[in-house]
Amino acid sequence: MTNVVLHPDMAIIQDAQKGAYGGKTIAQQRADWSRYTASLAIPRPNDILVRDELVATPGYDVPVRVYRHAASQGPTACVIYMHGGGFMKGDLDSSDPIAWGFCTETGATVVSVDYRLTPEHPFPAAFDDCMGVLRVAAADPGRFGIDPSRIALVGDSAGGHLAASLCLAARDASGPAIAAQAVVYTVIGTDMAEPSYTENAVGFGLTTEACHKYMKLLIPSSRHAASVYARPFLAADFAGLPPAFVHAAEFDPVRDDSRVYASRLALAGVDVTYREARGMIHGFMRARFKGAGARAEYAAICDFLSNRLAWSM
């Protein structure tokens, strides 16, 4: 792609990514991802209470990590957060700095979901795990000390896909109620023919080739290929979904998935804000501790959530 001018903060991501995509086996790729994400992390603030637990769902006891302000009193808003990693990488530790940041910046209790990964667990395993956690949070809000009328779904990359899928499923099932959704450099299961998959195919960390691989591992057979929860792009109707913040990176193979999703929501009458991080690449949130530009992009997500959920300590 010509005329590429990357934001200076993206050097932070690119430097950290060196060696992060060379693993040949799934185990090596996961270890590379853990090293990459750890290299950009900082310690949690001392005023956040954190605990790990298991949430029993019909198919699996899902590990979650719960973050809550030490000063919180009474029910708070809730962010259910789903991490990225191509559906095959990532865990509670790799997503920890993003998750605790939402707690710090919004005052919400954050429930980070350690959903099952591909290729061992293709669709619908991750979807079922996240939906199970959402249902438990809504049905038993006292467990997490939350207000079930103020639950937001937040996810980046693969996690954004899961958030979009859950919004469709919750609407179709008439609950649980979701107050807002924030999806960041998301994928929605397009056919990957949009311009960004060609324009940004290589050179920006995430590649178009990797995107194809991740989706094939998520949906390895034709059995679920037509499911709107496996590919939200296929939904015929986007009306009635929660207010949305859709956040893309300019130089990202999956950028146009975000553009498509935002436009589909807008055409369906959903209150949607679309923001494109100019000069930035996939994963820009992880640069926020060292870069003011990346920090501003992360703050925009938190501002949306704060406004939709209202601070409650």
Q: Which one is catalytic: 91, 161, 282, 312?
A: 282
How far is C-alpha 175 from the chain's CA centre?
Answer: 20
Annotated catalytic residue 157: yes
The Cβ-side half-sphere exposure at 114, using a 13 Å CA radius, reads 16
**Token pair of 64, please?**
């979650």
Q: Which one is catalytic: 9, 96, 147, 252?
A: 252
Q: Which one is catalytic: 95, 157, 165, 312?
A: 157
Q: List residues bridging with 79 in a β-sheet.
A: 110, 152
Collapse the DSSP code of 275 into the 3-class scheme (helix H, G, I; strand E, B; otherwise coil) and give the result.
strand
Alpha-carbon dihedral angle through residues 33, 101, 241, 75, given to the nearest 10 degrees: 130
Rounded Cα–Cα distance for residues 28 and 25 (Å): 5
Cβ proximity of 250 and 256 under 8 Å: no
Collapse the DSSP code of 80 into the 3-class scheme (helix H, G, I; strand E, B; otherwise coil) and give the result.
strand
CB atoms within 10 A of CB 26: 15
Rounded Cα–Cα distance for residues 99 and 108 (Å): 11
Annotated catalytic residue 72: no
CB atoms within 10 A of CB 25: 8
Annotated catalytic residue 34: no
Tokens 């601070």, residue located: 311
Catalytic residues: 157, 252, 282
